[in-house]
Structure 1
Amino acid sequence: MTASWLPNAYRDGKDRSVKVLITIGQPELQVNIQGRTVPWRPLQPNHAIERVRIIVALGTPLPSKFLRSVAADNDERRLALGFTSKNLRRGQQIHFQPSGVSFGGSPSELWGWDWQRLTAGNRPVETLVVENEAIVYETAEYIRWTSFLRRFEEVAGPILDKILTVVDAATMSLEYGDRFVFEGRPIDARPDFLLANISALLPENAASGGSLWHVHRGWFEELEGHKVLINQNLDAQDSKSPDRGTIRSVQVLTKTELRSRGEQLEYEVLKEKLASMHERSKEIFKSVLSEGMQAQVGIRGETNGQS
């Protein structure tokens, strides 16, 4: 066990240093505040991932007849994969564009459908959404990248492969939603024990845990010849618990969005790009975490909780 003193820079110049105890190998970062040990912990025992989502946006809307055919052709496979809930999406779609608002389709037109795999309490843990302009796969049961990708291919692969023979993909996004929970009073939830260099971006009241805060950032970069939009949102959030009252947590949403250069992005090409987007997402996520929390979620060394 190691201990270090982290000075806290306040505008009045007073030293309010707080001792931080980092216990390697346990799923928490312990903070000693006035003699009390208070931990930040990842949402899961060995990683912080709350959900992972893949979105493929289409360059041209799919016709209603095609959507209906794909749904019927895959219904037996849906049940075999464990998706017991199926919902059709009908009605007019509203499009917000710089030129104004437009409406597409008739009120009864089919423009999509979704599958959901539910827990015993009817909570969705895995979802596939197929709409005329996008395909979305999301899961709350992430273990590691290889198993996630294998499941994505099993669930969405055959449908996406067929769709991309009809229309082209415009963009593909990979989103990681990570969450860290503070076990003490929200007013003590200093984010600088969790996130690197965060205090420089926040006012004093937020940096000390006294108020909620959010930091959003984004930029473009090149990835294997494609333009990629990077978005990362850091949000302090409060929720209510019958046992503990208000619970403070921090959500880290990391998104990489690959954009087509005008060429046809076939299914096999998209799968190859996903691996690179995953690696880049890990680098960006790691860059915002403190060294202690990097160790807790397994990304400080060669192994990775998202690997």
Structure 2
Amino acid sequence: MGQPINDKHAIEVAAFIVAFERPFSERSIEALLGLQELLKADYPAFNKIGVFKISFGDKTAPSQPSNKISGVLLQKFRTDGRPAWALRVENNNIIVSCFDYERWEPSSSKAIEHLKKVINIIYVYDEQNPLGIVALQVIDRFVSHDDGYDIGHVFNRKTRYLTKQAIEAGSLWHVHQGWFREEKTVDVKYSCLNTLNVSASSGPVGLISTIDHTLECRFKQGLSVCEALDEDFLRDIFGLLHGYNKDVVGDLLNSRQKKRIGL
């Protein structure tokens, strides 16, 4: 029987992502070094992300690190060494990854708070760099410890998201698909791309059933950084994507698993 990887839910990681249309300027990247002090209570580990020069066609010239940095990586670890939270800012992306997920409200509120602190820094030097995408990635996992694998132990056999071949394939299978969710209101300024990767694979602790769902809110015209800093903007967008994710996961899982994780 498939067991959620956590007591109250099956979420391994929830990643909160904002992407701008152009890479951040050098001045913004330099200013990001201030995050080490600003967020040290939440992310004790701080690292610069270096730029590597790659030489093509010259076998005698190995890749070399540059003095420049392309971004920063901040992390908080659990006592066993596994990550609990991570904040990565690089090129044109800001990503907050929550590995220590509780429930939506406390986890999303903390992630959004940290995203806003980074956007405030970016705003100073990249005010004219539009925000193009807000995305949410959620990875759910279920572990089967016994030998009698049955896809119905985790998944709803009648779900629209699994193929007949996957249902009949046995314990190792993979379905990767994507679609745009159409919005009905006339004044919608974005489209929502869903990328869904569902699989069953063998792992060190048994068979792992995985639902990897990424939802990208793509704005038809880039939003100004000022708009992105609106008090309720990120909360509303991520809340919308969270609702979409629950719809998909709810369709994929059987009734017993949904009850287990409170869905």
TM-score (norm 2): 0.83
User: Where does 1:255-270 land on structure 2 (aligned, <5 Å)?
Assistant: 255-264=214-223, 265-268=227-230, 269-270=233-234
Worse overlay, 163-172 or 270-279? 163-172
Candidates 142, 164, 168, aligned match of 2:130: 168
SS for the counterpart of 1:249 is: strand
Q: Are 2:32 and 1:70 equivalent residues in the alignment?
A: yes
Candidates 21, 32, 44, aligned match of 2:6: 44
Find the counterpart in structure 2 of residue 244 from structure 1: none
Candidates 3, 13, 18, aligned match of 1:56: 18
SS for the counterpart of 1:80 is: coil
In the alignment, the residues of structure 1 paired with residue 46 and residue 256 of structure 2 have an alpha-carbon distance, to the nearest angstrom, of: 43
User: Where does 1:22-33 land on structure 2 (aligned, <5 Å)?
Assistant: none
Candidates 240, 245, 248, aligned match of 2:204: 240
Cα distance, 1:285 vs. partner? 0.9
In the alignment, the residues of structure 2 paired with residue 136 and residue 84 of structure 1 have an alpha-carbon distance, to the nearest angstrom, of: 17
SS for the counterpart of 2:66 is: coil
In the alignment, the residues of structure 2 paired with residue 44 and residue 120 of structure 1 have an alpha-carbon distance, to the nearest angstrom, of: 17
In the alignment, the residues of structure 1 paired with residue 130 and residue 235 of structure 2 have an alpha-carbon distance, to the nearest angstrom, of: 15
Contact 1:41 1:181 in 2 (8 A): yes
Contact 2:31 2:121 in 1 (8 A): no
Find the counterpart in structure 2 of residue 253 from structure 1: 212
Identity of aligned residues (%): 22
Candidates 62, 65, 69, aligned match of 1:110: 69
User: Where does 1:256-295 land on structure 2 (aligned, <5 Å)?
Assistant: 256-264=215-223, 265-268=227-230, 269-295=233-259
> Match of 1:261, as an amino acid?
K
> Match of 1:234, as an amino acid?
V
Query: How far does the alpha carbon of each residue in 1:85-136 deviate from its partner, in whole angstroms, 9 at most, with x for none?
Result: 1111111488xxxxxxxxxxx9332110110001223321110001121001
Q: Are 2:85 and 1:126 equivalent residues in the alignment?
A: yes
Candidates 144, 147, 151, aligned match of 2:103: 144
What is the count of residue pairs matched by the alignment?
237
Find the counterpart in structure 2 of residue 6 from structure 1: none
SS for the counterpart of 2:140 is: strand
Query: How far does the alpha carbon of each residue in 1:177-224 deviate from its partner, in whole angstroms, 9 at most, with x for none?
Result: 000011202xx21112211124723274x23x3xx1111111012346
Q: Which has the higher contact order (CA 8 A, sep 6+)?
A: 2
In the alignment, the residues of structure 1 paired with residue 89 and residue 53 of structure 2 have an alpha-carbon distance, to the nearest angstrom, of: 14
Contact 2:15 2:138 in 1 (8 A): yes
TM-score (norm 1): 0.72
Q: Are 2:141 and 1:179 equivalent residues in the alignment?
A: yes
Large movers: runs of 4+ above 6 Å:
none
In the alignment, the residues of structure 1 paired with residue 53 and residue 102 of structure 2 have an alpha-carbon distance, to the nearest angstrom, of: 36
Cα distance, 1:276 vs. partner? 0.7
Contact 2:24 2:92 in 1 (8 A): yes
In the alignment, the residues of structure 2 paired with residue 201 and residue 258 of structure 1 have an alpha-carbon distance, to the nearest angstrom, of: 31
Cα distance, 1:152 vs. partner? 1.0
Cα root mean square deviation, aligned: 2.0
> Match of 1:80, as an amino acid?
A
Find the counterpart in structure 1 of residue 173 from structure 2: 213
SS for the counterpart of 2:8 is: coil
Q: Structure 2 unaligned runs (5+)?
A: 55-64
> Match of 2:218, as an amino acid?
R
Cα distance, 1:279 vs. partner? 0.7
| Structure index of larger Rg | 1
Cα distance, 1:294 vs. partner? 1.5
Contact 1:232 1:255 in 2 (8 A): yes
User: Where does 1:191-230 land on structure 2 (aligned, <5 Å)?
Assistant: 191-197=151-157, 198=162, 200-202=164-166, 204=168, 206-207=169-170, 209=171, 212-223=172-183, 225=188, 226-230=190-194
Q: Structure 1 unaligned runs (5+)?
A: 1-38, 95-105, 242-246, 300-307
SS for the counterpart of 2:24 is: coil
Contact 2:191 2:218 in 1 (8 A): yes
Contact 1:182 1:248 in 2 (8 A): yes
In the alignment, the residues of structure 1 paired with residue 193 and residue 155 of structure 2 have an alpha-carbon distance, to the nearest angstrom, of: 22
Candidates 34, 50, 56, aligned match of 1:90: 50
Cα distance, 1:154 vs. partner? 3.1
In the alignment, the residues of structure 2 paired with residue 290 and residue 177 of structure 1 have an alpha-carbon distance, to the nearest angstrom, of: 17
